[in-house]
Chain A
């Protein structure tokens, strides 16, 4: 029996030395996979309980009614201008102009956005901050670019070429039957190609989004640091009802 114990002690000592300390461990096999996180996994209650107050706070803020829409507001209800496009472009002008004017002394002449940037309809009924997140999920900010006459004409040519209802506010563009520029009014006055104009838009478009190359020729670029979504929310808080219409700010003569 004594002999056996001795053997055992020697055995584990050498065992430890050889396998744990001296021999390097060698990578022999790798297995990899992706595991979809689906309903087969129960939710951990402690995590859910921790999230709950944050979730409730967001819902409270996002879902409280700020205004009412008198009808469905969509970017598909007009050919060259739409109720949703007009609403958002008008909001940018109304909300950003006081900021821009206080910083520079200048007024925003008009607004140009992109049709694709409006991401959702506004349903008839209660309008909430969540609505603004749906319409404008991106963190884009309002930027004002000073453009010369030639760049303004490039901008109009872009509108003609893309044949989309890119939202505008503060300008009127009328196209002839054969798709040529017939009338361009800015701030109610005929376009003057010797002047420069202050165009409010999104930082996304100024940085080359939607191929609006004419913004690259901007003489001055002012970042307002005002998020488009926040401008929309601030406007919703200010007004009681939203009832934007398709109008004659941009159309083609039939």
Chain B
């Protein structure tokens, strides 16, 4: 049914049209629904901003400033989610002294929705991570680490869904192979599963079973490797079918803007990574049109 015609035919007075417009607006035909995804990666316990005499990042970063920025964006768009792509821990004495407690508690204060695990999040072992989990009010998402034979079993989820303004958003986590990066004594019996196979399984479940409108991967694989055998985000993007955005980490890659990659069914999707140490906040806005007779075929990507 053509709703625009319906409105024209039934509106008897101009007052009527005004009221109708209001109703329609809330149901998102004229004004698209905007979902804002904010993200960090590889913050590495950088809670304070860099000092003004730092040679690489003078006066940049800092949790208290990030909090202001995130808060401003949430006020502008309440349909906002905030994620981290791992390596929350290790890099300043805050971690050496408090084992990640402050990192997690501050992430709660910024209302992080979820994070995936980076290799450095195992730096105090599975026990050290487990000890901090009660301090996290956000979810730890990890689909390709099997923790069944560790004390972390049951404390992470492969994915999580969020419903904002009638839109369902599915988010899953993918981690890097720990062997060679982290000593076995720390990650213990954590089993690493093929990230590509797990990602395509989980995204299919999010699309077909969970009926998600938007699917996001939090990945700590790394942006790109010269060694083709080593899984990276660009390859992951090219193998997925339903994932709309890969939020990456590990390689501390400062992208000027998100990278557009063709996925397995030739659709353009985004891979983003915002360097490290809380220097940048990534922001990706997704606009959804509620109309059945939408004029635009395909998605316009502005980066």
A57 to B96, alpha carbons, bound, how many Å?
A: 12
A11 to B11, alpha carbons, bound, how many Å?
A: 9
Contact residues, A165-201 vs B (CB, 8 A): none
0/1 interface trace, chain A 75-91, chain B, CB 8 Å (1 if under): 00000000000000000
The residue from B23, B94, B292 contacting A54, defined by CB atoms under 8 A apart: B94
Contact residues, B73-129 vs A (CB, 8 A): 90, 93-94, 97-98, 102, 105-106, 109-110, 123
Q: Is A7 in the interface zone, CB < 8 Å from B?
A: yes
Q: How far is the CB of A36 from chain B (nearest CB, A)?
A: 5
Q: Is there contact, CB below 8 Å, between B97 and A19?
A: no
Q: Is B300 in the interface zone, CB < 8 Å from A?
A: yes
Interface residues on A, range: 35 or more
Q: How far is the CB of B258 from chain A (nearest CB, A)?
A: 4
Given contacts A19-B3, A47-B106, contact A29 B302 (CB under 8 A): yes
Q: Is B133 in the interface zone, CB < 8 Å from A?
A: no
Q: Is there contact, CB below 8 Å, between B288 and A30?
A: no
Contact residues, B281-298 vs A (CB, 8 A): 281-292, 294, 296
Q: Is there contact, CB below 8 Å, between A28 and B287?
A: yes
Q: Is A23 in the interface zone, CB < 8 Å from B?
A: yes
0/1 interface trace, chain B 148-160, chain A, CB 8 Å (1 if under): 0000000000000
Contact residues, A122-164 vs B (CB, 8 A): 133, 139
Residue ID in chain A nearest B102 by CB atoms: A54
Given contacts A30-B302, A50-B105, contact A15 B280 (CB under 8 A): no
The residue from A4, A46, A50, A58 contacting B93, defined by CB atoms under 8 A apart: A58
A28 to B279, alpha carbons, bound, how many Å?
A: 30
Given contacts A29-B32, A30-B287, A33-B283, contact A133 B16 (CB under 8 A): no
A15 to B28, alpha carbons, bound, how many Å?
A: 11
Contact residues, A27-44 vs B (CB, 8 A): 27-39, 41-44
Q: Number of residue pairs across A and B with beta carbons under 8 Å?
A: 208
Stretch at the interface among B58-66, B200-208, B220-228: B58-66
A198 to B19, alpha carbons, bound, how many Å?
A: 85
Q: How far is the CB of A224 from chain B (nearest CB, A)?
A: 13
Q: Is B10 in the interface zone, CB < 8 Å from A?
A: yes
Q: Is B33 in the interface zone, CB < 8 Å from A?
A: yes
Q: How far is the CB of B165 from chain A (nearest CB, A)?
A: 9
Q: How far is the CB of A194 from chain B (nearest CB, A)?
A: 33
Q: Is there contact, CB below 8 Å, between A44 and B71?
A: yes
Q: Is the interface of B mostly helix, strand, loop or mixed?
A: mixed
Q: Is the interface of A mostly helix, strand, loop or mixed?
A: helix
By a CB distance below 8 angstroms, the chain A residues around B256 are 34
By a CB distance below 8 angstroms, the chain A residues around B282 are 32-35
Q: Is there contact, CB below 8 Å, between B288 and A28?
A: yes
Q: How far is the CB of A246 from chain B (nearest CB, A)?
A: 29
Q: Is A14 in the interface zone, CB < 8 Å from B?
A: yes
A36 to B43, alpha carbons, bound, how many Å?
A: 14
Given contacts A11-B10, A37-B69, A44-B68, contact A32 B272 (CB under 8 A): yes
A58 to B102, alpha carbons, bound, how many Å?
A: 12
Q: Is there contact, CB below 8 Å, between A7 and B63?
A: no
The residue from B1, B3, B23, B257 contacting A12, defined by CB atoms under 8 A apart: B23
The residue from B19, B257, B299 contacting A34, defined by CB atoms under 8 A apart: B257
The residue from A24, A27, A37, A50 contacting B278, defined by CB atoms under 8 A apart: A37
Residue ID in chain B nearest A36 by CB atoms: B280
Q: Is A18 in the interface zone, CB < 8 Å from B?
A: yes
Residue ID in chain A nearest B61 by CB atoms: A37
Given contacts A15-B27, A19-B29, A35-B281, contact A27 B214 (CB under 8 A): yes
Q: Is there contact, CB below 8 Å, between A34 and B280?
A: yes
A41 to B12, alpha carbons, bound, how many Å?
A: 50
By a CB distance below 8 angstroms, the chain B residues around A51 are 47-48, 63-64, 102, 106
Residue ID in chain A nearest B66 by CB atoms: A37
Given contacts A4-B16, A12-B23, contact A32 B213 (CB under 8 A): no
Q: How far is the CB of A156 from chain B (nearest CB, A)?
A: 29
Q: Is A94 in the interface zone, CB < 8 Å from B?
A: no
Q: Is there contact, CB below 8 Å, between B303 and A32?
A: yes
Q: Is there contact, CB below 8 Å, between B98 and A42?
A: no
Q: Is there contact, CB below 8 Å, between A7 and B10?
A: yes
The residue from B10, B245, B300 contacting A29, defined by CB atoms under 8 A apart: B300
A149 to B59, alpha carbons, bound, how many Å?
A: 52
A16 to B13, alpha carbons, bound, how many Å?
A: 20
Q: Is there contact, CB below 8 Å, between A3 and B167?
A: no
0/1 interface trace, chain B 3-19, chain A, CB 8 Å (1 if under): 10011001111001001
Given contacts A28-B296, A36-B279, A57-B97, contact A18 B270 (CB under 8 A): no
Q: Is there contact, CB below 8 Å, between B257 and A26?
A: no
0/1 interface trace, chain B 263-282, chain A, CB 8 Å (1 if under): 00000001010110011111
A-B contact pairs, 7 of them (CB 8 A): A16-B23, A26-B294, A30-B286, A37-B62, A37-B280, A37-B281, A46-B109
